Structure 1
């Protein structure tokens, strides 16, 4: 018996330790978050296995069920975060770091999703054809003075739906529908492409203003071809008439059956920490959320704004109504 115990102990001592790992399903493009994952692994020794998905995250998680290897889902836009939660694919989490560094308005009330950064939904305006002060509010985009001068992506895209949801929040369904009809009447072309494609259209003279997220300016400035597009516009921070500038988030949710929950919590705590927020700010051109952290020098150069105080969970709940109104006015038609 003594010899058996000694042999067993020798085997345990000789066996290599099982490395910690975290499995992430992400709608965020790899180049945007890999620097964060690399820094996390260097600091903690925990490996991150990143699976980039263009579409179908909810369907994949449902198909995998309790066998899913995913611990965390990363995505952008409150409606996408809420959709994963509404599909009953997540679990609530909390920690001292999250409670300390993520403002209350950027948490799911039940703890199923948490924001990690914010971005403003702004107007890109032609430096040549739009004067300072000509764009002031989101409501103003429906004014006839912009007829044939606006470019946007599809009205059913999550970013546009979130803005429409915010318009409903501030003014009600009837006003929001009228606003959508007004913006559609002012379009210079059929909605198409991503936010950068709209800036390219301004550069090409197809329209004078477009709606987009702030961080795309940073991405364009880093691209040799797209820098010329970026240099042709300036960023304007509109507000709602009774509010501030519309903001949205990037964030995460813990999957319902996360097999590596402890390691996954280490990752989200790192991302919410001052160090993680600093990397987010420098590499992603987004606004950090942790108290005491600042945007990058480039992002700060675009100007300051007052974020709208609409609760993001409330906007997520208005998503079905926003989609219905968008389809009723045939915005993309």
Structure 2
């Protein structure tokens, strides 16, 4: 009996020793329990996401072009910076910026008129942009003197004419359009158009109020019909035989060349583009631009976006898709625009468009420009 008990005790002791050795040797080795999965890089927390993607930039914009969305997406892909966009008319956005004050989420204010950009500056809504890249990309005449807004593209207010009924050598200046030579042959959109208001404002800056009013009266006297529709409607009216010449923005002509509407392409084929005042004061241009909002929370990202939008790559995309003139002189023009040839622009401060806008509207009302 004693032998049996001793033998059993010996077996138990041996088992205990073997178990301890096995437990010790398994330390640090893979077990049958499934390993815990590690979170993919950047997905652990929202904070990590923001850090790795570069944050965001918020835009208040009065531009409504497809090419802008394409460029914003490309910028995000290249930098990881998310672009958030709020679209509205420029006056509405300016009022919103004033109302929001320091609490605004906006980083950039983008619009399509030099006078409005200057008004945003005068309202103390913008701040200076500091970037050697931007200064290299954009010539000084297409930037605010204090760099509170930066030009992104330009468009020219040109004379469009019927190739069948008008020879280019018959055309010369904006002033010539107000002479009896073009009686009942001129087409232009209404005085509500900011494009026409800025054109007249530029003439006030150049010639003074009296001559500008005389010009506006001549335009009204020569109209082939009362103003109606947009710029492209004036081109269509030329081809329909309503009038022979029209005042239009250049980029509308280019867009008609690639329109999904076959009739618009036919219209494009029958009209020509003429840059007026090449021997005198130059062709009127207006500008699209971006202002850095005074209370921007993402200033660094906003400046990076302007740097990208003024790069050769982005500038050529704007011209190709929307037929606007690039501000970066290294950017190449699409074939349609290159065929129009080069031109000399007016030497008028963009700020004058805003300064003389009230007087321009007043003169238009006085002469009956509807």
Counterpart check, 1:116 vs 2:152: yes
Mapped contact 2:278–2:343 kept (Cα < 8 A): no
Distance 1:13 1:317, change over 3 A: same
1:241, 1:320 → 2: CA distance? 29
Mapped contact 1:139–1:240 kept (Cα < 8 A): no
Structure 1 equivalent of residue 298 of structure 2: 260
Structure 2 equivalent of residue 6 of structure 1: none
Give 1 or 2 for the bigger CA radius of gyration.
Answer: 2
Structure 2 equivalent of residue 187 of structure 1: 223
Structure 2 equivalent of residue 17 of structure 1: 49
TM-score (norm 2): 0.82
Match of 1:222 among 242, 250, 258: 258
1:92-111 equivalences under 5 Å are 92-111=128-147
1:300, 1:13 → 2: CA distance? 48
Mean CA deviation greater in 236-245 or 95-104? 236-245
In the alignment, structure 2 segments of 5+ residues that lack a partner are 1-41
1:194, 1:125 → 2: CA distance? 16
Structure 1 equivalent of residue 109 of structure 2: 73
- Secondary structure of the 1:183 match is helix
Match of 1:295 among 299, 310, 333: 333
Mean CA deviation greater in 305-314 or 98-107? 305-314
Mapped contact 1:156–1:326 kept (Cα < 8 A): no
- Secondary structure of the 1:17 match is helix
Mapped contact 2:154–2:325 kept (Cα < 8 A): yes
Structure 2 equivalent of residue 310 of structure 1: 348
Match of 1:174 among 210, 235, 241: 210
1:117, 1:258 → 2: CA distance? 23
Mean CA deviation greater in 253-262 or 313-322? 313-322
- Secondary structure of the 2:219 match is helix
Q: Alignment RMSD, CA only?
A: 2.0
Structure 1 equivalent of residue 308 of structure 2: 270
Extract structure 1 runs of 4+ deviating beyond 4 A: none
Mapped contact 2:159–2:275 kept (Cα < 8 A): yes
In the alignment, structure 1 segments of 5+ residues that lack a partner are 1-11
1:119-268 equivalences under 5 Å are 119-225=155-261, 226-239=264-277, 242-268=280-306
Report how many aligned residue pairs link the two structures: 321
2:83, 2:283 → 1: CA distance? 35
Structure 1 equivalent of residue 75 of structure 2: 40
Mapped contact 2:202–2:284 kept (Cα < 8 A): yes
